[in-house]
């Protein structure tokens, strides 16, 4: 078989195969991850990054190779985790730039695009380190440029051969790798992506090959982890927190300007500026200083700070074990939490999809149908799917995935007063033997639940135990809540939340109820307003009764059903009251929430951490 050119569909299939095979190497990459810090997270970070790439490409139907390349790069930027994910993103941005706007490319044009990708990556780094993914990318691109092949099958084979040879040389380039007796984990991850493309070209099923890999290693992913055996490099790594953030804005500063500021705050700095997105990775002792700067340049969409010493101590406790837990705690929740995909990806939160049942068909919330798609159906459909808690297997699958990352698991789920989800999660936890699990009843829904989930993830990244996190969430929940209002009574009537008599009176008088959840998880009326225009100031007035101006640490979440225009004015009001740096999440309501509230409904969650 010969392949003379690469178009959009061919590149898409190649990249999806590359991502699938790389994800299958996750455990092995974590095992050998000793540089720059032996925290055993390279496999996880690469897996989450390539998952974002694959998700962005799966429904892509572009015929032009340029459009697919740019889509892959954007997916990488949005999902980038860790050094390896950030460097892969830079490489793919340069690769897309090298392709330009071409419909299809030859082997020569493909090779030149690889070189542009490598050049962009090197230019983006303050202090490039050889013996890492950088070296393997450069050598692979060099092999492609030197090749005389006019057939992609031959070219891929030559590039893979050189990449493997380059990977084998990494211990000679980096002393820490030679001491540990391993190759560089990020570099091996890149090679596995190339190998995934090679398998596709050869017609080998990725799933079959991964199963063969597992059988070849007795299902263990290798011997005792090098990451667990390695000493923490206190002399080389001055800083404690691996810090990442994503910022959006129409007037973001240039990449170089951001680097000049942040390089004074830490090391291992990587900055990506792509359109209206700014992504940063830096090791620092003061993550809040980094976040405060970023809040001043745009909207800080996601941010996290992981304690690398705690991660290493967790790994060190697993010496002699093959299954590595790279963090003390992993977090599981359900899709009713309404956290954005960006937040979920940034913190590696595991989400169990709620179910929507329509006749004989079941939709998984957020997988088979998105919030935006459901809102459109809500505008016109007379009959909508009913909601259902997830099946027991969905919880067990999520727990298993979470246990591969954490020594223990914390699960935070929609209120027991609204759904049987938390009960089902508890039953599944009692049957799960892979790790101890703390199940927390959020006594909330939507972004009230989501804010608690986010807090759990942040505390886990700082080294808190599952029990400590559960106790803290219960304390915070007593001071937190959610208020919401509806534009129509139709969905409340259909869901049985409001009787027809009350709804008729409300319609006749033009009343808009202000509802909310008590600390015990009950839905109660907190007030009312005449008309939509008065509902917003009344809801905000009630909020100030719940959250006094003098609180020191509070976060908010704005959720809506097909009403995105509510986010900006409410955000501006909140920041005028609670301070310009107030953190505010926003999201469209998930289908399981929206189906009970109807078009035009919106809510405001608050979490007081004092």
* 579, 551 Cβ separation under 8 angstroms: no
Q: In this structure, what CATH number is given to the domain that contains residue 550? A: 3.30.1180.10
* 39, 268 Cβ separation under 8 angstroms: no
222 or 243, which is more confident? 243
pLDDT at 225 over 90: no
| Domain around 150 | 6-229
Overall number of domains in the chain: 4
pLDDT value, residue 498: 47
With a CB cutoff of 8 Å and minimum separation 6, the contacts of 243 are 266, 280, 281, 282, 283, 284, 287, 290, 303, 304, 305, 306
Q: In this structure, what CATH number is given to the domain that contains residue 291? A: 3.30.70
The pTM is what? 0.88
Q: Tell which of 477, 497, 526 closes a domain.
A: 477
What pLDDT band is residue 500 in, cutting at 50, 70 and 90? very low
pLDDT at 130 over 80: yes
Are 221 and 247 in a shared domain? no
What pLDDT band is residue 224 in, cutting at 50, 70 and 90? low
* Closest residue by Cα to residue 25 from 214, 176, 175: 214
pLDDT at 217 over 70: no
* 267, 69 Cβ separation under 8 angstroms: no
* 220, 19 Cβ separation under 8 angstroms: no
Are 303 and 222 in a shared domain? no
Tokens of 189: 């991850």
Are 398 and 384 in a shared domain? yes
Are 172 and 75 in a shared domain? yes
369 DSSP assignment: B
Q: Tell which of 282, 309, 336 closes a domain.
A: 309
pLDDT value, residue 2: 87
Tokens of 286: 């003061």
Question: pLDDT per residue over 63-76, tens digit each?
Answer: 999 999 999 999 99
Are 394 and 469 in a shared domain? yes
CA–CA dist 282, 263 (Å, integer): 8
pLDDT at 506 over 60: no
Question: pLDDT per residue over 52-105, tens digit each?
Answer: 999 999 989 999 999 999 999 999 999 999 999 999 999 999 999 999 999 999
Question: pLDDT per residue over 429-454, tens digit each?
Answer: 999 999 999 999 999 999 999 999 99
Give percent of the chain with pLDDT exceeding 70.
93
pLDDT value, residue 597: 87
With a CB cutoff of 8 Å and minimum separation 6, the contacts of 117 are 90, 91, 92, 93, 94, 95, 97, 98, 137, 141
What pLDDT band is residue 572 in, cutting at 50, 70 and 90? very high
pLDDT value, residue 345: 93
Are 213 and 279 in a shared domain? no
CA–CA dist 191, 168 (Å, integer): 11
208 or 350, which is more confident? 350
* 559, 603 Cβ separation under 8 angstroms: yes
Tokens of 228: 């667990």
Question: pLDDT per residue over 549-567, tens digit each?
Answer: 889 999 999 999 999 999 9
Q: Does residue 235 belong to any structural domain of this protein?
A: no
pLDDT at 28 over 80: yes
Are 30 and 105 in a shared domain? yes
How does the average pLDDT of the chain come out, rounded?
Answer: 90
Q: Does residue 234 belong to any structural domain of this protein?
A: no
Are 373 and 269 in a shared domain? no
pLDDT value, residue 37: 86
What pLDDT band is residue 508 in, cutting at 50, 70 and 90? very low
């Amino acid at each position: 078989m010969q392949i003379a050119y690469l178009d959009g569909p061919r590149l898409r299939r190649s990249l999806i195969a590359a991502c699938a095979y790389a994800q299958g190497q996750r455990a092995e990459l974590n095992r050998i991850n000793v540089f720059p810090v032996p925290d055993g997270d390279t496999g996880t970070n690469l897996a989450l990054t390539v998952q974002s790439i694959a998700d962005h490409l799966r429904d892509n139907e572009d015929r032009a190779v340029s459009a697919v390349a740019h889509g892959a790069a954007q997916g990488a930027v949005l999902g980038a985790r860790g050094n390896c994910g950030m460097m892969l993103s830079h490489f793919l941005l340069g690769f897309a730039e090298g392709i330009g706007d071409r419909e299809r490319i030859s082997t020569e044009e493909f090779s030149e695009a690889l070189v542009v990708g490598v050049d962009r990556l090197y230019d983006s780094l303050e202090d490039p380190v050889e013996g890492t993914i950088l070296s393997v990318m450069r050598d692979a691109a060099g092999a492609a440029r030197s090749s005389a092949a006019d057939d992609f099958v031959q070219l891929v084979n030559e590039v893979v051969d050189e990449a493997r040879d380059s990977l084998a040389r990494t211990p000679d380039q980096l002393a820490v790798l030679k001491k540990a007796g391993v190759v560089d984990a990020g570099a091996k991850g890149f090679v596995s992506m190339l190998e995934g493309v090679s398998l596709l070209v050869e017609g080998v099923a990725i799933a079959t090959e991964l199963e063969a890999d597992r059988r070849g290693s007795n299902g263990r992913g290798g011997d005792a982890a090098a990451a667990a055996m390695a000493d923490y490099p206190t002399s080389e790594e001055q800083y404690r927190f691996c810090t990442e953030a994503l910022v959006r804005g129409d007037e973001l500063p240039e990449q170089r300007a951001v680097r000049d500021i942040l390089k004074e705050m830490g090391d291992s700095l990587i900055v990506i500026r792509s359109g209206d997105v700014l992504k940063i990775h830096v090791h620092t002792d003061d993550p809040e200083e980094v976040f405060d700067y970023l809040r001043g340049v745009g909207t800080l969409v996601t941010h996290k700070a992981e304690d690398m010493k705690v991660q290493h101590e967790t790994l060190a406790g697993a010496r002699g074990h093959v299954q590595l837990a790279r963090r003390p705690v992993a977090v599981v929740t359900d899709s009713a939490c309404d956290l954005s995909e960006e937040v979920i990806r940034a913190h590696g939160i595991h989400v169990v999809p709620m179910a929507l049942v329509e006749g004989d068909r079941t939709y998984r919330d957020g997988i088979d149908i998105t919030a935006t798609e459901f809102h459109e159906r809500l505008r016109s459909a007379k009959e909508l799917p009913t909601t259902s808690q997830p099946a027991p297997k969905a919880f067990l699958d999520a727990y298993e995935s979470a246990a591969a990352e954490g020594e223990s698991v914390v699960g935070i789920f929609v209120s027991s007063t609204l759904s049987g989800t938390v009960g089902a999660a508890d039953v599944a936890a009692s049957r799960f033997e892979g790790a101890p699990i703390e199940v927390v009843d959020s006594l909330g829904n939507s972004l009230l639940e989501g804010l608690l989930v986010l807090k759990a993830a942040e505390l886990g990244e700082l080294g808190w135990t599952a029990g400590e996190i559960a106790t803290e969430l219960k304390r915070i929940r007593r001071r937190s809540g959610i208020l919401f209002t509806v534009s129509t009574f139709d969905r409340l009537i259909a869901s049985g939340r409001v009787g027809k008599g009350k709804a008729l009176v409300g319609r006749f008088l033009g009343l808009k109820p202000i509802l909310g959840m008590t600390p015990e998880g009950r839905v109660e009326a907190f007030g009312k307003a005449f008309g939509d225009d008065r509902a917003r100031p009344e809801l905000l007035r009630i909020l100030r009764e719940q959250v006094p101006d003098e609180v020191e640490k509070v976060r908010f979440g704005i959720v809506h059903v097909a009403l995105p225009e509510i986010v900006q004015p409410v955000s501006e009001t909140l920041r005028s009251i609670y301070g310009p740096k107030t953190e505010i999440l926003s999201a469209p309501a998930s289908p399981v929430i929206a189906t009970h509230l109807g078009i035009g409904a919106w809510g405001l969650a608050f979490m007081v951490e004092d």
